[in-house]
Structure formats: C-alpha cells, structure tokens
Amino acid sequence: MQTRKAIKRAISSNSTPIVPKAAPKVAKAKKIKKELKIEIVKPQAPPETSSTLVKPKLQVVKTEHLPSQEAPDNWETLYRNIQEMRSKADAPVDTMGCTELYSGQATPVEKRFQILISLLMSSQTKDEINAGAMKRLNEHFKSFNAEKAANADTALLSSLITPVGFHKTKSKNIVKVGEICRDQYSSDIPDTIEDLVKLPGIGPKMGYLALSCAWGKNEGIGVDVHVHRICQRLRFTKKPKNPEATRNQLESWLPKEKWQEINKLLVGFGQQICSAKSPNCTNCLNDPICPKDFSGEKISPKK
C-alpha cells in the first residue's frame, strides 16, 4: 500500500501545471502602458524654424474682381458734413502728412522717394514724430534719396529717425528700399501697386498713398486705422476684418473721384473729432444722423 506522501508525489508528477490565463493579459497590458508612456514622454520633435516669424503681407485684391456693394443710405450727407468740419484743413495730417515732408531742395525723383520713406515710417507713429524724423534725414543727407539710403549705415539711420515706432526695423527697411530703387528703378520709386508692395515695409495702404501722392495716380484708397475705424462707425462698410477689406468695400460704391481725397479727409476728422477712444460726438455735425456703430470698441464718447 502506497503511503499518502507517495500518492501525492505521483499525482504531482502526472498532472499538467495550471497556468493562470490572466497572467499574459496583465503582462501585455503593462507592455502597452509602457509603450504609450514612451510615446507621450518622447513626442516627435517639431521642425526647425527661424527664431523670427515674418508676418505675411495682406494680398492686394483688385476691386474689379469683387462683388459690388450698394452705397449706404445718406452717405452723401455724412460725407458733406465731414468736409465742412475739415474745411479749415488744420489737422496734423494737413501740415505734416507725407506730401508736406519732402525737402525744398528735392528733385522730382528725390521728392517721390522722400514721400515713400515718410510713408514707410508713418505706421505706429504720430505725424509730429514722423515729420521730425524726415526733417533730420533731409538735413543730415542734404536731401535724402535712394542712393544715399542704400549706402547709409543702419545705426545712423536708426538714431536719426528715433523715436519713430520700430525705428530699428524701419532703418533696415529704408536701406533695402534704397538699394532696390537705386538698382531696379534708376533711383526712382515703383509706379505700380504690385511693385510697391514688394518693397520691404510697404503694404497696400502705403502703396496706394504713394501712387496718389508721388505719382498722381488714382488707383486705390489708402486705408489706415482712422479710415478703417470711421468707415465702420458710419457704416460705410459692413464689418470688415482688416483695412484691405475696408478698401475693397469702399471702392465698390464710393465714386472714384473721391478716392484720392478720402484718406486725408477722414484721417484729419479722426485726429480732431472722431478719435479712437474719446470721439467728440457732441461737436460733430453728424451727431443726429450718425449710426454710431461702436460695436467691438471700448470707448468713452465726450459729452
């Protein structure tokens, strides 16, 4: 007779070991978790890019390729009232705009170049500061021109145009514009909007103003922050996303004979009456009929 221990050994030797079925799943789960963890901790490296991102220029869209827009109600009355309020022509833009800043010694070619440079410096800069910068450039270089700009030292230019906004960047652009105008346009400036906006620091607003003020061409409206803001308040435009949208909407209905005058008209109006933060509505002839579309603005109208 087999002893109890012998029977137990026999059963143990003849039996198939029982392996828990859950074990592989647990091991697999741990493996997946580990793999997922590795993917999260070590993401794919982003592509190398330049440390300075260059914001693309707004694309110039010809008005004839856009759908027409009906002229707003009573726009002529609103426009005539603004003309009356601006009849004295005593706003900063009237005495310190781009057409007032060229040297008395400038040749026609130099005059056009100086108008372009004053426009280039005008963004994010008050007229008084821009006028002072142009005066210093003309005095130092004895009438600034493309040749002198191309050969100028950027540090010197930067010191001369300070405190113009972004003066360091603009001084570099002035040199580049001088080189392009000297080498490609016989020291003159381009006479088409397509070529003007290719110049460093020149966008559609400056390009159309250069065509108008330097070449006498009436090909588009120069829309700056004043024109953009006021046109929306008067509902001359319908919620434009940017100044180029404002230009396209305006040009679709405003008579072309007013395209050249509207920039200076509305800029001066914005400087004296319809300012950005505190519009003087009580002293505005349009107060009774103005739509006063201040949507999206934070303002405190004067009482």
Catalytic positions, please? 205
How far is the CA of 179 from the CAs of 107, 145, 150, 184, 203, in angstroms? 19, 11, 5, 8, 18
Q: Are 143 and 106 in contact (CB under 8 A)?
A: yes
CA distance 244 to 141: 35
CA distance 157 to 159: 5
CA distance 146 to 174: 9
Instruction: Name every residue whose Cβ is closer than 8 Å to that of residue 269 and which is 6 or more positions away in sequence.
Output: 82, 85, 86, 91, 226, 230
User: Which phi and psi angles does 58 have, rounded to 5°?
Assistant: -65, 135
Identify the three-state secondary structure at position 190.
coil
How far is the CA of 188 from the CAs of 67, 202, 213, in angstroms? 35, 15, 14
Instruction: Report angle CA 145, 147, 151 to the nearest 5 degrees.
Output: 115
For residue 78, the Cα-to-chain-centroid distance in whole angstroms is 28
Among 95, 90, 98, CA closest to 115: 98
> What is the token pair recorded at 241?
């996303």
Place of tokens 């046109």: 231
CA distance 176 to 201: 10
